[in-house]
Chains A and B, each alone.
Chain A
Amino acid sequence: MNFEELKSRIEEGLRELSAEISGKEPNVININVSRDKIVEVAKKLKALGFDHVKAVTAIDYPNERFEVVYIASSYSNLDLAFFLINLRTDLPYNDPTTPSLIEVWPSAFYQEHEEHDLMGIVFEGHPRMGERLLLPESYEGLPPLRKEFKIKTEGINA
């Protein structure tokens, strides 16, 4: 399957869900959706054969928005395995809440938990929200991956 074919197939599959689809050759397809549509889009993608999540990245744009990116791909269909679907959603800065996708993709379980722990994104429906994963239980303060959280640096650029 080539890139254009897959892109048009995804566009067709997601037509009613007002998703913005853009591609980046050779193998990345970006899908932007609003957070209330994300579960449906994920279900559609799973039906298309994208059966697991490789990575969940949360990005912090201070005082503007958070972006959550699910990188999904396929194990069961090795024709699709070459392609990486980036399912993206923007969250408002003061309310970083998004529905969890673990019902669709159980492989996102620990990844979502980590982004909750380190970036402070709340994934609704995830059973371990509020628990720590990587940080010590006693940790208090800002989630460390936020840009406001400063660490010491060295050199004149600091």
Chain B
Amino acid sequence: MWVANLDKAAKKAAAWLINKTPIRNIRDWGIAFSLWPVHFTTSCCGAEFAAAVAPKFDAERFGFLPFIGIRQCNVLFIEGTLSKKMGEAAKWVYEQMPEPKFVVAMGACGIDGGIFWNSYNIVRPKDILPVSVFVPGCPPRPEGIAQAIIMLQRKIRKGELVKYEF
């Protein structure tokens, strides 16, 4: 019907507009500086993650502050090894986060198991989640986390990660 078509057209127009250059840039710029990681500690790299958001390294200057409610967060930091039990929890947490959402895997364990590569109880984050940035190190230094945040921001601002489809 007529009205339905109008609705569809409006949505199409909005999608076109939001993906058009100046507005898209503003949108990506906004997202890049409002990153809210979930407070979800998976493993021992959490010690360095905590140091990164504490004074001295102060990740908040990148617009990056751990938050409690999953529904208000858009970054999932996998802080080190994912055990099988934790892997399931990580999937639930990821599914509950609203779009657009990003995953950063921290530590050698987050890449390919690290020192625990032959353990019977781990999963690789890349096998269960779409990881955008990996942070190498065992554990990575807080500077490495800052670098990961900047890389994530660059990726977002290049428009590689956020796609609006209606």
Co-complex (A, B): yes
- B119 CB contacts on chain A under 8 angstroms: 151
Task: Say yes or no: A151 contacts B118, CB within 8 Å.
Answer: yes
Determine if A153 is an interface residue (Cβ-Cβ < 8 Å). Answer: yes
In the complex, what residue of chain A is closest to B121 when comparing beta carbons?
A: A135
Task: Say yes or no: B120 contacts A151, CB within 8 Å.
Answer: yes
Question: Which of B117, B119, B120, B121 has the most chain A CB within a 10 Å cutoff?
Answer: B120
Residue from the list A136, A151, A152, A154 in contact with B85, Cβ < 8 A: A136
Q: In the assembled complex, how far is the CB of residue B25 from the closest CB belonging to chain A, in whole angstroms? A: 45
- A154 CB contacts on chain B under 8 angstroms: 118
Task: Say yes or no: B121 contacts A152, CB within 8 Å.
Answer: no
State the interface size on chain B (CB cutoff 8 A).
9
16 other contacts beyond A151-B119, A152-B117, with CB at 8 A cut-off? Answer: A135-B121, A136-B83, A136-B84, A136-B85, A136-B88, A136-B121, A138-B84, A139-B84, A144-B120, A144-B121, A149-B120, A151-B118, A151-B120, A152-B118, A153-B118, A154-B118
Q: Give the A-B pair count, Cβ closer than 8 A.
A: 18
- A139 CB contacts on chain B under 8 angstroms: 84
- A138 CB contacts on chain B under 8 angstroms: 84
Which residues of A from 124 to 158 have beta carbons under 8 Å from B? 135-136, 138-139, 144, 149, 151-154
Interface of B is mostly: loop
| Residues of B that sit less than 8 Å from A by CB | 83-85, 88, 117-121
- A153 CB contacts on chain B under 8 angstroms: 118
Q: Provide a sorted-by-A list of 18 A–B residue pairs whose CB atoms are within 8 angstroms.
A: A135-B121, A136-B83, A136-B84, A136-B85, A136-B88, A136-B121, A138-B84, A139-B84, A144-B120, A144-B121, A149-B120, A151-B118, A151-B119, A151-B120, A152-B117, A152-B118, A153-B118, A154-B118
In the complex, what residue of chain B is closest to A152 when comparing beta carbons?
A: B118
In the complex, what residue of chain A is closest to B119 when comparing beta carbons?
A: A151
| Distance between Cα atoms of A19 and B44 in the complex (Å) | 43
- B88 CB contacts on chain A under 8 angstroms: 136
